[in-house]
């Protein structure tokens, strides 16, 4: 009998490391949001790098806003994506979504305009339809 493969997903690794510091009872509860904070930090570095030159106050506002949005949107977005794409697991989507939100940063309006144009293109009436 072969032993089961170890789960080396980012969430499992973070939970294992947290177990050393906070114990096995609290680590699973803190694991997902610790992973989201780590990913947010990497994404915010990319997002700040992509920002046009701005005063420090604007960079601070950008950082705080992306933190709040990332903490509030990552888990629900991962659940929705996993529900609509059964191949994906929600826990495997936490890291990429948490990086993506602040990394896109000030370009979210451009992304929304692009999605809106796709929606209009695919929902346009066909010839002969009213």
Contact call for residues 108 and 51 (beta carbons, < 8 A): no
How many distinct helices (H) and strands (E) make up the chain? 5, 0
What is the pLDDT at residue 130? Answer: 54
Among the listed residues 49, 79, 81, 44, the one whose alpha carbon sits nearest the alpha carbon of residue 62: 44
Contact call for residues 47 and 62 (beta carbons, < 8 A): yes
State the Cα–Cα distance between residues 124 and 25, nearest whole angstrom. Answer: 53
What is the pLDDT at residue 71? Answer: 93
pLDDT tens for the chain, 130 residues: list them.
788 887 778 888 888 999 999 988 888 888 888 999 999 999 999 999 988 888 888 889 999 999 999 999 999 999 999 998 888 888 888 999 999 999 998 888 888 888 888 877 777 666 655 5
State the Cα–Cα distance between residues 119 and 116, nearest whole angstrom. Answer: 5
State the Cα–Cα distance between residues 103 and 106, nearest whole angstrom. Answer: 9
Contact call for residues 97 and 77 (beta carbons, < 8 A): yes
What is the pLDDT at residue 102? Answer: 94
What is the pLDDT at residue 125? Answer: 63
- For residue 80, what are its two tokens? 């929705």
Helix 27-50 vs helix 56-84: angle between axes, to the nearest 10 degrees?
Answer: 120
What is the pLDDT at residue 12? Answer: 87
């Amino acid at each position: 009998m072969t032993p089961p493969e170890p789960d080396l997903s980012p969430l499992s690794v973070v939970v294992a490391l947290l177990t050393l510091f906070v114990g096995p009872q609290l680590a699973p509860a803190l694991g997902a949001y610790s992973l989201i904070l780590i990913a947010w930090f990497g994404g915010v570095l990319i997002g700040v790098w992509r920002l046009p030159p701005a005063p420090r106050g604007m960079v601070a506002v950008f950082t705080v806003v992306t933190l709040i949005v990332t903490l509030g949107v990552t888990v629900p977005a991962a659940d929705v994506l996993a529900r609509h794409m059964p191949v994906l697991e929600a826990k495997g989507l936490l890291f990429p979504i948490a990086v993506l939100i602040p990394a896109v940063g000030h370009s979210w309006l451009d992304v929304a305009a692009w999605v809106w144009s796709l929606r209009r293109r695919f929902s346009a009436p066909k010839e002969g339809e009213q």
